[in-house]
Every structure is written in C-alpha cells, then in structure tokens.
Amino acid sequence: MAEEKEKRKDKMEAPGTFALSIIFLVAFIIIWFAHLKWLIEVWGVK
C-alpha cells in the first residue's frame, strides 16, 4: 500500500492535460501583461 502510494507520487498521470494547462497559463500571463500595458497608457488617477 505504502509502496503504491510512493509510486503514485512520482507519476505524471495526465501529461497531455498538463501541457494544455501550461498553454492556458501562458495565455493568461500574456493577456494580463497586455492589460498592464494598456493601463499604463491612461491618465494618472488616484
């Protein structure tokens, strides 16, 4: 049982989904920084 647990710990069960998730995160970060660029272009406000 403990051995099986140990085995599960180091496994990549869903590498394809993991790759898709990385694509998602990269898209997220790019769009986020695009908004930062647009924000800096507007007038100062506080």
Q: Which stretches of the chain bind other proteins, using CB under 8 A?
A: 5, 8-21, 24-25, 27-29, 31-32, 35-36, 38-40, 42-46
Alpha carbons 5 and 27: distance in angstroms, whole number = 34
What is the Cα Rg of the chain in Å?
20
Query: Closest separation between CB of residue 6 and other proteins, Å?
Result: 8
Query: Closest separation between CB of residue 1 and other proteins, Å?
Result: 9
Place of tokens 């085995």: 7
Query: Closest separation between CB of residue 18 and other proteins, Å?
Result: 4
